[in-house]
Structures are given as C-alpha cells and as structure tokens.
Structure 1
Amino acid sequence: MRGRGAARGGRGGRTPSAPWSRLKPVELDPLESMGLPSKGDNRLLDSKTQERYYTKIVERYMTFCSDAGERDELLRRFASLDLSSKKETASSKPTGNTSRDASQHAPPRPSMAAPATVPNNTKGLSDVLSALRKLREGIVASKRMDDFAIQTYLFCIRLSVLVKHPESYHPAILHLLRRIQPFHSMTTVEMSEVVGYLVLDTACRRNDLGEAFALRHRYRLKDTKVDGVLDALAHDNYVEFNRLKRRVDGHRAKLLEYAEEGMRKHVLKCFGRTYLSVDLEFLETCTGSPWARLTTENGVGWELEGGKVIIRRVKAR
C-alpha cells in the first residue's frame, strides 16, 4: 500500500508543491480570447456567453473613454482611428491653378486601415470594434432577436459611425432593419435614429440621392434636419449644408463629412466661373475653410492681395 502511494505521489514519495514548468501562464485578453463564429469558434452562440462578452466590451470602451480624459482628447483619439482614407494618391491630386481642375476629382472611397497603422493610444478602441464583430456574428448565427440583440447592434452602429467605418455600421444597420425589426420592434426613437443614419450614409457616402429619398419614404422618416441635408445636397447649397452640419449631433456630423469635400469643391467651381475677385472673409465663410487649407488641400491657385482674393484678371487689349 505504501509503495502505491509513493508511486502516485512522485519520486521519493513526495508530491510536488508547484508545477514543474517554469513558464509563466499566458494572460489572455478577454476580448481577444474569443474567436469568430465564422472561423469555427462556437462559444458566442450561447446567449449567456454573449451577454458576458458584451459586458466586457462595454467595460473596455468605458476604460478607453476614461483614459482619454478631456473631451477634446477623446475626440482626437476617435479622429485618429478614423478608418476612412482621407488622403488622395499622387494621381488624384489637383494639378491646375484654379479650383475648376480640383473639382473634377471625386472624393476618395473609404478603405480599411491596416492594423499596423492603428495608433497605440487607440488600441483599446480597435479591440472593441473587433470584439463587436465577433459578437455580431454570434448573434446572427444564433438567430437571436430580442432587446439584447438590438442593444448590441445600436452600440456597434453608433461607435462605427463615430470612427467612420462603413464596413461595420452599414451591414449592422441593414440587419437591424431587415432581420430584427420585423420580429422584435425597436422604439420609435431608435427606429428614427437608425433610419436617419442609413439615409444620410446613402446620400453622403454613397452619393445616391435618389435611393436616400426612397429610403426616407419607405421607412416614413420624419426628421427636419435630415430633410434639410437632403435638400441642401440636391441643390448644391453648401452654405445651408455647412449650417446643418454644425446643428446635428456628432454621429450625423460624421456622416455629413463624406459629402463635405465634394460640396466645397463645387462651391469653389462656382466662384471660379462667377467672380473676378472676392473678399477673403466671404470666401472662407462660404466654403467653411480657411485660406491656407483651400490652397494646400483643395489646390486653389488664386492670388491673395490683402483681404481680397483675385480669381482671374481681365487681360488688357
């Protein structure tokens, strides 16, 4: 009997008090520990696991906001994780001396930022976006349609809009409206919010005004600010568009940014065709941009003389 106990206990009849391995246990990030259901990880198909995972996502997001401190720093970090490409390639940069040439170039299409380009101080936010994708896949795969599913999708949509990541918010909006809403209704306020995002995204990012008006009619959206934006876009009224951009909330303002550059270029084209000269203050007010930005980013080659901008000079005969 004693021999058997010694054999079980280990060499010399003594049981080791600690593991033999000297390697430290790996500390897994709770958000990264889960895999994508589409890749074979089925843990997020369980409703309780989904809810616990969502709680961890929200905690990580709140930590990110707390670490940022002041509001301006938080907005700066959101902007630094802006996943839309705002830079033009060398072939698309304006080469002429007037805004007429610059207006011929369409705004660049948004693209996903490479992981290596994500700033260190926004890694927490990028982890949240990645985790939300996993959770959304789990909700879709488990065919969950309840208040929790709506809450998760609303959180994902709002956050993705703020960082201008249409690859996340656009399919989430469509799934919420087409799959979940018919079986488990959102509140009137939530419905108006989501439809408003879809209409503005269609008009500003996708540049499809006809579809935007159709969506507004289909979902019976009644929102004076959305109506005003559509009217401003239809009439190329950048002054009204810029005024509305200052009045809407931060989420809608982010969606309006997609159309801002194209609207500004149209205004510059109108100035180039209409005026010989214009006051600098008036030009900056109408375009919503300072002179330095107009010359560096919009390719304006007009001459500045004091407080007056010379668009073109009349040639003496």
Structure 2
Amino acid sequence: MSGSSQTPYSLLSNQRRSGEQRPSNKRGPSGGWSRLKTPNIDSLEVYGYPSKGETKLNDPKAQESLYNKIVERYMKFCASSSSGDELDKQFASLSLSSTSPLATPSPPAPPPSRASRSGSNASNAPPSHSVELATILTALRKLREAIVATARRDVFAQRVYIFNIHAAILCKEWESYAPALISLLTKIHSQSPLPAPELHEFVGFWILDLACRQSDIMAAYTVKTQFKHEDRRVGLVLKALAHDNWVLFWKMRRAVDGYQRRIMEFADTGMRLHALKCLGRSYMTADRAYVERCTDRKWVDLVKDGVGWELAESEKIVIRRPKVK
C-alpha cells in the first residue's frame, strides 16, 4: 500500500488531530414538507378544569366567549335531530347506567378491528350525538367551575347556571344539575334575583329532585314551605310518592313538562316495583292491558326488565298458579 493512500479510519484520526469539524448529519427543518400536522383542537376543549389548575378561564371575557360557543354548539346539536322524539332519545342515550334494577347489564361492545379502524377514516368522521353532547356538558362543567373560582354571581352567572341545569336535566345528569340548582337558589339568587316565573320553575325542580331522586319527602316539603311554592302538579307528585299511589304518579308524569318528567323518571323504578308487588299479592291472573296500565310499561318491556310472569293466549297474564296439594 502506498504511503499516500489513507484508510477512512486514518482520515478520521487526522481530522480529529487537526481540529477539523465533522460534517453534521442533522437535518434542517423541513418546513412545509413535515408530515406532522397540527392537531385540530375542539374549541370547547381548549381549556382545562379550573379545579385542576386551569387559570385562563378566570378572565370574564374568556368565560363569556366559551359560553357563546357552548350555546352555538348546543343549538346545532338540537337542530341536527329530525324530530322531538329523536332528540329526546339522544338525551336519554347519554345515561351510562340502566335505571331498572331488574335489567341485566349488557356486555360492552367489542372494539373495532384494526382493519375497520384504518379503512374508515375515523379522524375525519363527525362526532356522534352522544360524544357531542358529552363534550358540551364537559365544557359547561368547566365554565361552572370557573364561575365558582371567580366568585361570580352576576346576571351572566345566573344565565350560565340556568342553561346548565336545563341541559343536564334532559340528560338526567344529576351530578351536574343538582349542585348547580342549589347554588343558583341559595347563592346567586341572593345577589342576582331570579324573575318570579324562573324562581318558581327551579324551586319546583329542587322539590322534585328531593322527592323523586333522593326519596326525601320530608326535605321536599321543607323546601316547598320555605319558598312558599304553590304548584298543583308538583304537590300531587309529592302526594303520590308519599302514599305509593302509582295511578296518580303515572297520571302526573304525563301532565308535567319535559324537564319535570325527566326528574320524575328517577322514581319510576321504585313506583313500578311497588305496583308489581301489589299485583303479585292481589291477583292470580290479570289482563295484560291492566298490568300495563298499573306499571306504565308495555308487557314486552316488563319481560326485558326481568318480570317472570307468563302471558297466556287469551291475553291473560298468569301471575301465580294454584298450589297443588
């Protein structure tokens, strides 16, 4: 090998001895050719929870901006349903647990396969109704926490709480509407008084929640007396619950408005179980139509709930059979 020839290793050592810089292998910024795209962040998910350290929502203007976005998304969500019945189903579908203790919980749906996930371009698909509604309720919770953190009790806070309570009642999210309802009536109302019709409405919600969801009839009557609340339908609901009068209860559930009816649904299971027990102790057989009127539920749904009675060909329901001696 000639003396002028050098191996790569000798060249490397010569460069190190001479202090020459090694060529850098680092790539410069690729700019517009980068494959990493900026993720699309939902405008309702920009902020975190104030209870976990978020401070950006302490700004009153940020609170009002978020509220306007929430209302806009909520109105679009309601307009996306073709009918009132479909919209009611969308609100009811958000409930994560069954309200009937007789019902057997269904197993969770299996996750989609890898092929279906890759072929269905899930990133560009619009969110489902339940996901959209959950996003709206989560944003409302963040906004409510920000109002609590800033001790805001003005007309804006009143408006936010009213909107939050209405939306959460339709979804039967008592974890959201119950604390908001108490704060509205006991804290915000003292500084920003509610108009008489709205005060009457929300006191009625509180009374029904105490009676139907919490099964505290005494507390419901206490609130009724404290606020001097006079509403014939709410009073009859309390009477029906106090006397286990399922006929009156079902009648009043059809007479109240949509918000009151949704709160009354918390007491449906208990009233229906009481009616079934009374039928089981009183009758050997009963007409199908009569059983459905007493329970305010179709026979097919009662069977799904776990009722073990038998339906004969003559539309008679066999509740008990005579004991054979």
TM-score (norm 1): 0.80
TM-score (norm 2): 0.78
Q: Residue 55 of structure 1 is aligned with which of 44, 65, 68?
A: 68
1:25 is paired with a residue of what secondary structure? coil
Report the counterpart of residue 51 of structure 2 in structure 1.
38
List aligned pairs for 1:216-295, cutoff 5 A. Answer: 216-295=224-303
**1:316 to 1:128, Cα distance in 2 relative to 1, 3 A:** closer
* CA distance in 2 between partners of 1:283 and 1:20 (Å): 70
Radius of gyration: which is bigger? Answer: 2
Offset, 1:71: 2.1
Structure 2 runs not aligned, ≥5 long: 1-29, 106-110, 112-126
Q: Residue 183 of structure 1 is aligned with which of 178, 181, 191?
A: 191
* CA distance in 2 between partners of 1:39 and 1:232 (Å): 43
List aligned pairs for 1:106-185, cutoff 5 A. Answer: 120-185=128-193
- Give the partner amino acid of 2:38: P
- Give the partner amino acid of 1:190: E
* CA distance in 2 between partners of 1:70 and 1:283 (Å): 30
Offset, 1:19: 4.9
Offset, 1:93: 6.5
Contact 1:50/1:135, CA 8 A, preserved across alignment: yes
Contact 2:45/2:139, CA 8 A, preserved across alignment: yes
Report the counterpart of residue 12 of structure 1 in structure 2.
none
Say whether residues 1:72 and 2:80 are aligned partners: no
* CA distance in 1 between partners of 2:43 and 2:297 (Å): 44
1:309 is paired with a residue of what secondary structure? strand
Q: Residue 211 of structure 2 is aligned with which of 170, 182, 203?
A: 203
* CA distance in 2 between partners of 1:218 and 1:156 (Å): 24
* CA distance in 2 between partners of 1:93 and 1:184 (Å): 44
Structure 1 runs not aligned, ≥5 long: 1-17, 95-107, 109-115
Report the counterpart of residue 24 of structure 1 in structure 2.
37
* CA distance in 1 between partners of 2:143 and 2:96 (Å): 20
Offset, 1:280: 1.9
Q: Residue 214 of structure 1 is aligned with which of 211, 222, 233?
A: 222
List per-residue Cα deviations over 1:146-184 (Å, max 9, x = no partner): 111111001100110111111100110111112111121
User: What RMSD, in angstroms, separates the aligned Cα atoms of the two structures?
Assistant: 2.4
Which gives a bigger RCO, structure 1 or 2 (Cα 8 Å, sep 6+)?
1
2:190 is paired with a residue of what secondary structure? coil
Offset, 1:20: 6.3
- Give the partner amino acid of 1:171: P
